[in-house]
Amino acid sequence: MEINRETLLKIAHLARLNFSDESEDEMLQGLNDMINWVEKLHEVDTEGVDPLTNMSQEVNSWREDEVKSDISREQALKNAPKKDEEFFKVPKVLK
């Protein structure tokens, strides 16, 4: 699989990444190297093997429906770059 410039720019947009035109070639090369390296896995026959979605072998690691509060609003807002007494503040977004 070959990553072309169009795909690179699409991925960059989806990830909200900006880079200069000069570094595009470098990015393209790096991405293609990675894909080629991982593509080696195609050599393994996985016929009839379910995809592995989790490294642990456990199932049903669920919890009971109980309310436990772990942090206060004050603590929650502490790390926010912008806030008031009640809310997180972000650059204006309108749907």
Per CB under 8 A, the list member of 1, 6, 67, 81 interacting with another protein is 67
Told to check if 12 binds another protein by CB under 8 A, we report no
Told to check if 20 binds another protein by CB under 8 A, we report no
Per CB under 8 A, the list member of 18, 40, 56, 81 interacting with another protein is 56
In whole angstroms, what is the distance from residue 60 CA to residue 76 CA?
A: 30
Question: Are 70 and 76 within 8 A, CB to CB?
Answer: no
Told to check if 17 binds another protein by CB under 8 A, we report no
In whole angstroms, what is the distance from residue 5 CA to residue 95 CA?
A: 30
